Amino acid sequence: MITIRNGRLYRRYDSELLCIEPWGPDSFRVRATERAGFLNDDTRQALLPAAPVPFDVREEEDGTYRLTNGGISCEISPSGTLTFRDASGKVLLAEYERMRDMQGEGHKRFNSALEIRPRTFVSIPGTDNYRLAVRFEPADGEKIFGLGQYQQPYLDMKGCTLELAHRNSQASVPFALSSLGYGFLWNNPAIGRVTFGKNMTAWEADSTKEMDYWIGAGQTPADILHRYTAVTGRVPMMPEYGLGFWQCKLRYQTQEELLDVAREYHRRGIPVDVIVADFFHWPHQGDWKFDPEFWPDPAAMVNELEAMGTKLMVSVWPTVDGDSENYPAMKEGGMLMRSERGLRLGQLSGAAIADMTNPEARAFVWDKLKKNYYEDGARIFWLDEAEPEINGEPGRGGYEYDHYRYFAGADLEIGNLYPREYARMTYDGMTEEGQENIVNLLRCAWAGSARYGALVWSGDIDSSFASLRNQLAAGLSMGLAGIPWWTTDIGGFHGGNINDPAFKELFARWFAFGCFCPVMRLHGFREPVRLSVNASRGGFPVTGAGNEIWSYGPEIEEICKAYLALREKLRPYTRQIMAAAHEAGDPVIRPLFYGFPEDQTAWNVEDEYLYGPDILVAPVLTAGARERKVYLPAGTRWVSLWDGTVFEGGQAVTAPAPLAQIPVFVREGSPVRKLLP
């Protein structure tokens, strides 16, 4: 039975209720459930409220219903199978159905004994939830991009199976951008998986109450991303201190050590926009304050840094020790994540985790951050452990998603919301204080995180060329998933001896890549490891070797200084790119096809990228390389940054790549050329 009310089309057949409604121009939101009705809980979905959009509904002679919203239409067959087409009638996406043509069921595209429906709800006994699978037909030659951050070198996700779950260095942002001209958001925070197979595409949720997705059409990848980010939210305008260089290491153990590093950069005339007080500057996890033994006067520290033109960023963890002064109140108030079995204080090492899906917990934690950091002048927070990195039972490893429960529901059902709500905690508090252009660093994100000022970094990755290659794919995929603010630990996080020539080479290559990342941020746990400053409290963790640009010897320091000077020259251009991310949702770094969709070769290039519309970067991703091939997109001419040589687009060239330089080209005629050497 088909009914239309309140600007939506509803179809009821047996146990399933289907709802299709326009959600922005050239877009639909599609929901289905086998419950009595749909959830009325906006916190569980990524979409912002949408203004009503007029759409056309027609019933065909064969019983098919066709809904049209601008450049996209949705056909509902008599059996309930959905097909989406663009304005020309080309199929964008069609549900996968293999059913017998039984009497009374109407026309089927396939007559099959397999009995596979496109939408499958399998009830979980004794609950109101289902295991959900939604299947779509494959399309020959289709390429799939986006999906967030996965530690793999692939940009095109066709042929991949991806876990829809967060881990340290993995951020599931379930938006797929198709080369066929559509974008698809799996608007469901449940733990699950997606397979972009040769025989079908399948989206799955392990425990959920309903199907919910958004699909939008566009002429170009930019059109699609603009529509998607309009309905999920865009980043604020990046503040000026996000355009330069951020200095960090694991970890500055004392206030004086951090200040000495900032003073030395200042003495050398090297601008540092942000410097970071990393973890365990606190007495206990969950105190959310500086340990006065090692950080005696935070306000004075902030003031001295400000005088040097440097902002302080403070690390925040959601972990709460049993010895923390805040643990009793948070436990009593129901503000901690719960374990289904075992001890709560084992959720991450020996600590519990603050439940950021609980509005009271968010308010409680922000109140501590405001009192102990914000009122002393800190305006940037590093929201670490944003997945969060939950432990499993002893001997079984981590990330047992069936083991945890939040205020908003079971981890299996809503767990992917956590990083978004974590970002929301500080964003709402800082907004209430009147701060604008908010940016906070997180280790994870979900769809909609961008609107809360989330700058995502790629987690605790290893220090290797293979890892560097993965970060290039991760950063580009995050941008295409609607998270344009992204960064990586320059040099990687785990390992890297500052005296090792092989690591110095890697570090130089990574630093060059960092110069052309949305945020240029140096971090890592370097070797040789240094002893801790104290045997207890916040001073007990060890620290890494020096991680300042002079820590790697004179040759590497000079290379770093050159790239830092280049980043400063790029500041006006970077500001323009950030404005485009804020206003339209464009990625800061983007694949070649984003800027040149008519160039078919550009769709196949996965080891180069565009920094904004006019700068092409070809990072060196293998040890020992001193040249590399670079494809220059057709439709313009390209100028080498280093020697001014002009090349026609639409060809591959072999570019020199000495250790001090990576291949960089500027679109001929671009105003940015005047800013550069």
- The residues that are catalytic are 384, 387, 460
Please confirm whether the linkage preceding 388 is cis (ω < 30° from 0): yes
Please give the structure tokens belonging to residue 539.
Answer: 């001073």
Say if strands 2-5 and 211-217 run parallel, antiparallel, or are unpaired.
Answer: unpaired
> Rounded to whole angstroms, how far apart are CA atoms 438 and 453?
6
* Cα dihedral 66→71→72→75 (10° resolution): 20
> Rounded to whole angstroms, how far apart are CA atoms 142 and 85?
15
> Rounded to whole angstroms, how far apart are CA atoms 71 and 86?
6
Q: Is 461:470 a contact under the CB 8 Å cutoff?
A: yes
Please give the structure tokens belonging to residue 453.
Answer: 């000022």
Where residue 338 falls (left for φ over 0; alpha for ψ -120 to 50; beta otherwise) is beta
Please confirm whether the linkage preceding 528 is cis (ω < 30° from 0): yes
Give the SS3 label for residue 149.
Answer: strand
Q: Which amino acid is at 362?
A: R
| DSSP conformation letters of 500-541 | -HHHHHHHHHHHHHHHTSSSEEE--EEES-B--S-SSGGG-S
DSSP bridge pairs for 311: 274
What is the DSSP secondary structure assignment for residue 44, as one 8-state letter? G
Which of 198, 153, 160 shows the shortest CA–CA distance to 176?
Answer: 160
Q: What are φ and ψ of residue 256, in 5° steps?
A: -70, -35
Distances (CA, A) of 257 to 275, 390, 401: 12, 32, 40
| DSSP conformation letters of 574-629 | HHHHHHHHHHH---SEE-HHHH-TT-GGGGG--S-EEETTTEEE----STT-SEEE
What's the count of helices (H) and strands (E) in the chain, helices before strands? 12, 41
Q: Which amino acid is at 147?
A: L
DSSP bridge pairs for 24: none
In the chain, what are the helix, strand and coil shares in percent, each to the nearest 5? Answer: 25, 30, 45
HSE toward the beta carbon, residue 497, CA cutoff 13 A: 5
> Rounded to whole angstroms, how far apart are CA atoms 491 and 496?
8
Please confirm whether the linkage preceding 509 is cis (ω < 30° from 0): no
Where residue 205 falls (left for φ over 0; alpha for ψ -120 to 50; beta otherwise) is beta
Which of 639, 645, 648 shows the shortest CA–CA distance to 668?
Answer: 639
> Rounded to whole angstroms, how far apart are CA atoms 292 and 380?
20
DSSP bridge pairs for 130: 123, 208
What value does the CA radius of gyration of the chain take, rounded to a whole number of Å? 26
Say if strands 494-497 and 525-527 run parallel, antiparallel, or are unpaired.
Answer: parallel
> Rounded to whole angstroms, how far apart are CA atoms 526 and 510?
15
**If you search the block for the tokens 């790239």, which residue do you land on?**
563
Which of 119, 291, 177 shows the shortest CA–CA distance to 590?
Answer: 177
> Rounded to whole angstroms, how far apart are CA atoms 666 and 591?
15
> Rounded to whole angstroms, how far apart are CA atoms 192 and 199?
19
Q: Is 176:144 a contact under the CB 8 Å cutoff?
A: yes
Please give the structure tokens belonging to residue 58.
Answer: 């027609």
